Structures are given as structure tokens and as C-alpha cells.
Chain A
Amino acid sequence: EVQVVESGGGLVQPGGSLRLSCAASGFTFSNYWMSWVRQGPGKGLEWVANIENGGAEKFYVDSVKGRFTISRDNAQNSLSLQMNSLRAEDTAIYYCARLFSRWYFDVWGRGTQVTVSS
């Protein structure tokens, strides 16, 4: 079964750091671009970051540039999101998603909750 499973969410104070992970299975991970998408409480969806299948090209939404880093380990079939200098507005469910043909999200995880609060 093709699936991605997120982990690593939790409660963190403003200014703190958190590292999210996404474990992929059921497909050849190294063949696909991957993404993080988030959803604030009661809000819509927001694209956060993309990483190309080799890991060299990375793209971010402006609001997280310089604070978040997307990375991957193709040998371990895993995707990560290192989040530093966290703000209250980063509070959201973070979804790991597979990109098909680089253009659309065809496989989603269940998400992991990140709460930034003192």
C-alpha cells in the first residue's frame, strides 16, 4: 500500500524548534518530489515546501524561508521538515504529501499537529 506517515509534532514555545518526519512506503521514494502542506486551526490549506527527488532543489513559501528546512533521505525513504524560530502563526496540522509528475499532491499523510504557544 502506498502511504506516507508523519511524526514529530507537538507543543513548542515561541522561538523554539521542532523536526517533523515523514516515512514513505509502498512506492519508489527516490522517484518523486515531495511536499509539506499545512492547515491552521479552522483554516484552509497552505503549501509550505517542495523538494525534488534528488534533494538538491528546494522551494519554500515566503513566510517560512530562512526558518524551515526541507530535506530527505532516499536511502531511508524519509522526508523531514526542520522548523526553527517557530511563531504562533505556525500552529497547524502539517501534512506530508507526494507530488505526482511534480505538479499535484496525489498521496497525503494523516498529518501531525504542531502547536506553538507559551
Chain B
Amino acid sequence: DIQMTQSPSSLSASVGDRVTITCRASQSISSYLNWYQQKPGTAPNLLIYAASTLQSGVPSRFSGSGSGTDFTLTISSLQPEDSATYYCQQSYIIPWTFGQGTKVEIK
């Protein structure tokens, strides 16, 4: 199985900060990498698919990059409503796997 490792596991940042979350795959997954945001008590929400394509309706402060084994989710200017847990997920090989999550808190 492909292991997805996110870093950091949690972070605390101020409103307006630039935030970067990293996701590393245990083998190459080309660009089959998706990012989801999950707020407490709610279902996940798709942010980025195919490593860098912004899902319709998602604010442009979110962006994704990378290919192969190393990927990044960036929030260019953190907003209060961005407090959530973020997950990466590979859809390259069955079984599809998720990272362990990165919890983002607002200072």
C-alpha cells in the first residue's frame, strides 16, 4: 500500500499568515493527489484535485503543487474560517490512502 505522510501534524498560525502543508507519498503517484478540508462534526470537503486544480467554489487563497512523491497545500492568507483538519489522498493505486491529517488552528 502507498503510505501518505503529512507534515506537520498540527500548526497554529495567525490570520493573514501564509501556511504550507506537505504531503509525501511512499512511491510515485504522478499527480493523483487530492486535498480535503474537514471541520469538526462535518463531512470532508474537496479543495484541490489532481495535485493543483482548484475545485469550483473554493477560495483562491488555496493552492496545490507537486508531482511524483512530494506535494504541498498552501493557504496564501489564513482566514478564521480555515480552522480545520486537512487531508491529502492518493487515487493512483488501490487501496486509495489518506494522510493522517494536519490540524490548523488560528492563534
Q: Which residue in chain B gives the minimum CB-CB distance to A99? A: B91
Size of the chain B interface, CB-CB below 8 angstroms: 23
Spot the interface stretch: A14-22, A43-51, A67-75, A81-89: A43-51
Is residue B77 contacting chain A, with contact meaning CB distance below 8 A? no
Question: Contact check: which of A47, A50, A60, A106 meets B97 at CB < 8 Å?
Answer: A47
Verify A111–B99 contact, CB threshold 8 A. Answer: no
Size of the chain A interface, CB-CB below 8 angstroms: 20
**Which secondary structure dominates chain B's binding surface?**
loop
Verify A104–B34 contact, CB threshold 8 A. Answer: yes
Verify B99–A44 contact, CB threshold 8 A. Answer: yes
A-to-B contact residues, CB < 8 Å: 37, 44-47, 50, 59-62, 95, 100, 103-106, 108-111
Cross-chain pairs A/B with CB under 8 angstroms, 18 sampled:
A37-B44, A44-B99, A45-B44, A45-B89, A45-B101, A47-B97, A47-B98, A59-B94, A59-B95, A60-B95, A103-B34, A103-B91, A105-B89, A106-B49, A106-B55, A108-B43, A108-B44, A108-B45
